[in-house]
């Protein structure tokens, strides 16, 4: 009896030990933003998830022996001002996947993840090196800020002397239009050598739906006048691709990204191109200044976006920051529209923000 009891205790201890590598983590970002013009009026608002999306998650793995590990990640987005779930109310809308990994062969996972435009190129964009999402390219239609694919199989290679490659395939999801209604694929590669790194990626989604007026601030799209800003357009294909590079000089980090996004409804097609440059400077270990500039064009529309930020770290996990984002649009019927804020009533939009971020 004693032997059985000892065996049960040992088994329970092993099971508990197997769970000990599960990590709880998260980010809470909140602050006050002044916007010069949204739909014709200025606004002051509490806005969260600007420098980083507010989230909490669990990640972990189990050693299976022979160099193999089982891995998983569950991550949920939320609004700290209301407690509401983000990503359409999904329980784990940011990440939900399980898979196997091996140091020699790489990893394969199954579930909901970001496509490779984000995981490959965001690190080089001023939307990452400065204040965040306000500074992303028009409508984030190139998907660099972090967009998801459902029913996704992802392969990630090991590190081959600085080179890593990845591939994804998403089965027809019949899900929310803002994710991917049809099948999709994504490819990406990164190479790092000393202070220099470079990455390239592409994503193609079949049957894609979005609102060009609300997202881009345009009044016409693919040769058709939009009845309202909220009008949803159906595309046969969305294809986006980009390349980014960065140089880390210690206190100074310089980077740039070019993206090319093609909208195709089966009859007409047009391309949105964006060129972004970013500079981050560590004034001292606890104080960072950064700036970014983006030029974008689609048909007759043009956007010039400028951003500056100052970030002060109270500790390794808590920082306060202030930022300014200004966009000037041009082209017939084109309005300025910073990402997540909504179209201005004219061709200009300014966002001034003070925020607080805590990581745990």
> What is the distance between the alpha carbons of residues 294 and 130, in angstroms, rounded to a whole number?
12
Using the predicted structure, report yes or no on whether residue 118 has a pLDDT greater than 70: yes
> What is the distance between the alpha carbons of residues 256 and 243, in angstroms, rounded to a whole number?
8
End-to-end CA distance of the chain: 45
pLDDT digits (tens, 9 = 90+) for 181-198: 679 999 999 999 999 999
pLDDT digits (tens, 9 = 90+) for 257-296: 999 999 999 999 999 999 999 999 999 999 999 999 999 9
Give the range with max mean pLDDT: 17-31, 109-123, 180-194: 109-123
HSE toward the beta carbon, residue 140, CA cutoff 13 A: 26
pLDDT the model gives residue 56: 98
Using the predicted structure, report yes or no on whether residue 9 has a pLDDT greater than 50: no
**Mean pLDDT on 232-252:** 96
Return the percentage of the chain with pLDDT > 90, whole number: 89
Domains of the chain: 20-359 (2.40.160.10)
Using the predicted structure, report yes or no on whether residue 150 has a pLDDT greater than 80: yes
């Amino acid at each position: 009896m004693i032997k059985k009891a000892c065996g049960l205790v040992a088994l329970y201890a092993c099971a508990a030990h197997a769970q000990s590598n599960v990590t709880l983590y998260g980010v809470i970002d909140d602050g006050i933003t002044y916007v010069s013009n949204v739909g014709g009026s200025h606004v002051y608002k509490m806005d969260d998830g600007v420098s980083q999306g507010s989230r909490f998650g669990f990640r972990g793995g189990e050693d299976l022996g022979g160099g193999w590990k089982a891995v998983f990640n569950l991550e949920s987005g939320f609004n700290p001002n209301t407690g509401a779930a983000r990503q359409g109310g999904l329980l784990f809308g940011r990440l939900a996947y399980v898979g196997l990994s091996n140091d020699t062969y790489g990893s394969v996972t199954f579930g909901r993840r970001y496509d490779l435009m984000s995981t490959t190129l965001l690190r080089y964009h001023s939307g990452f090196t400065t204040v965040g999402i306000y500074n992303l390219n028009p409508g984030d239609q190139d998907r660099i800020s972090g967009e998801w694919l459902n029913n996704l199989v992802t392969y990630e290679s090991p590190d081959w002397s600085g080179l890593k490659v990845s591939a994804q395939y998403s089965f027809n999801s019949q899900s929310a239009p803002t994710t991917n209604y049809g099948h999709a694929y994504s490819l990406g590669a990164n190479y790092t050598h000393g202070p220099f790194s470079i990455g390239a990626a592409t994503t193609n989604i079949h049957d894609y739906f979005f609102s060009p007026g609300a997202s881009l601030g345009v009044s016409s799209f693919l040769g058709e006048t939009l009845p309202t800003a909220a009008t949803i357009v159906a595309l046969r294909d969305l294809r986006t691709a980009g390349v980014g590079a960065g140089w880390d000089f210690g206190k100074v980090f310089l980077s740039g990204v070019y993206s090319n996004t093609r909208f195709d409804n089966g009859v007409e097609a047009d391309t949105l191109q964006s060129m972004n440059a970013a500079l981050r400077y560590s004034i001292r270990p606890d104080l960072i200044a950064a700036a970014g500039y983006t030029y974008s064009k689609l048909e007759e529309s043009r956007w010039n976006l400028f951003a500056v930020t100052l970030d002060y770290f109270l500790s390794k996990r808590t920082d306060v920051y202030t930022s300014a984002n200004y966009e000037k649009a041009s082209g017939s019927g084109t309005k300025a529209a910073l990402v997540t804020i909504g179209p201005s009533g004219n061709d200009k939009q300014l966002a001034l923000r003070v925020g607080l971020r805590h990581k745990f």
